[in-house]
């Protein structure tokens, strides 16, 4: 099990507060070992300043290439308005388990969305192998899923959530992997268009589908927009670690932002 040692939050006076959770932190034996992990206010402020500088470097055109925090933009050309309907496939790759979903969107008010899913394991030899092996594995799992759903002959649109840093243009059929994270090390993928690799593997497998890519944030925001086109329901926009999310889809603010004494926050178009 893992636990969050500290929880930071905003107070009306814009002062930094530190809450220690949960109650068993009061245990002297545990507190003895955790004492050395406690950070002073000065250290926390220094960390905040460093984060801010790195984010600003990521947003700068000249400093982005060498920035630690890339601040990569996600392009959203339109959002759902609730009138959409159809049969879709969603792929979610970002860990040792790979998930495939079939999503049926209808105009039925009682049950507008029907989903069926299956989780496939991504073995270490695939994660640490070649990019061709990785995307062939994805396509193989997709083919298996479509056969089980009895839709192998259908040509369905595929949404691909690829939970790794990618450089995109305003063309959603294009996403270049900047670097692998987590434990993924598949060779020949960094600096390459992952959508092209996926479509090539899908075509080789004989699955009649074509994909577009999305990042985690967009994946969370889009369903919320479909629920309420005016942006009044932001439940789908809440991602792990998020703090304050306004009901506006113009830009996303205060996402895990730790600048307690400043009204200036980063924003992502």
50 contact partners, CB below 8 Å, separation of at least 6: none
Pairing of β 267-268 and β 176-177: unpaired
What are the tens digits of pLDDT across the range 201-252?
Answer: 998 888 765 655 554 444 444 554 455 554 444 433 434 343 444 444 444 4
Of 243, 240, 269, 267, whose CA–CA distance to 256 is shortest?
Answer: 243
CATH H superfamily, domain 86-218? ATPase, nucleotide binding domain (3.30.420.40)
Residues of the chain with CATH 3.30.420.40: 86-218
Q: Look up tokens 């979903």; give the residue.
A: 101
Beta-carbon count within 10 A of 110 CB: 5
261 contact partners, CB below 8 Å, separation of at least 6: 14, 16
Confidence label for 171 from pLDDT (cuts 50, 70 and 90): low
> Is the four-CA dihedral 187, 193, 194, 200 of positive or negative sign?
negative
Alpha helices of 111-183 — where are they, by DSSP H?
A: 124-127, 131-148
Q: pTM of this prediction?
A: 0.64
What are the tens digits of pLDDT across the range 138-161?
Answer: 999 999 999 999 988 888 888 888
185 to each of 58, 71, 125, how far by Cα in Å? Answer: 24, 22, 10
Average pLDDT on 93-102 reads 88
Residue pair 118/140 in contact (Cβ under 8 Å)? The answer is no
Residue pair 255/240 in contact (Cβ under 8 Å)? The answer is no
**Pairwise CA distance, residues 135 & 113, whole Å:** 28
């Amino acid at each position: 099990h893992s636990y969050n040692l500290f929880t930071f939050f905003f107070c009306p006076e814009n002062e930094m507060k530190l809450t220690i959770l949960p109650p068993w932190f009061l245990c002297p034996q545990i507190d003895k070992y955790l004492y050395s992990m406690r950070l002073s206010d000065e250290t926390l402020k220094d960390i905040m300043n460093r984060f801010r500088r790195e984010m600003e470097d990521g947003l700068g055109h000249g400093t982005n290439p060498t920035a630690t925090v890339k601040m990569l933009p996600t392009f959203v050309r339109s959002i759902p308005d609730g009138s959409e309907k159809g049969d879709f496939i969603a792929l979610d790759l970002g860990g040792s388990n790979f998930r495939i979903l079939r999503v049926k969107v209808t105009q039925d008010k009682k049950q507008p969305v029907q989903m069926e899913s299956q989780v496939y394991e991504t073995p270490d030899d695939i994660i640490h192998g070649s990019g061709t092996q990785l995307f062939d594995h994805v396509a193989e799992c997709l083919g298996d899923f479509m056969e089980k759903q009895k839709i192998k002959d259908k040509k369905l649109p595929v949404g691909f959530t690829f939970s790794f840093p990618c450089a995109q243009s305003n063309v959603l059929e294009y996403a270049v992997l900047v670097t692998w994270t987590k434990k993924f090390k598949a060779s020949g993928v960094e600096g390459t268009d992952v959508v092209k690799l996926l479509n090539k593997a899908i075509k080789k497998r004989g699955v009649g589908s074509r994909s577009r890519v999305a990042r985690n944030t967009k994946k969370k925001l889009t369903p919320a927009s479909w629920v309420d086109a005016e942006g009044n329901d932001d439940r789908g926009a809440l991602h792990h670690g998020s703090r304050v999310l306004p009901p506006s889809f113009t830009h996303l603010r205060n996402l895990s932002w730790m600048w307690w004494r400043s009204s200036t926050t980063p924003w992502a178009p």
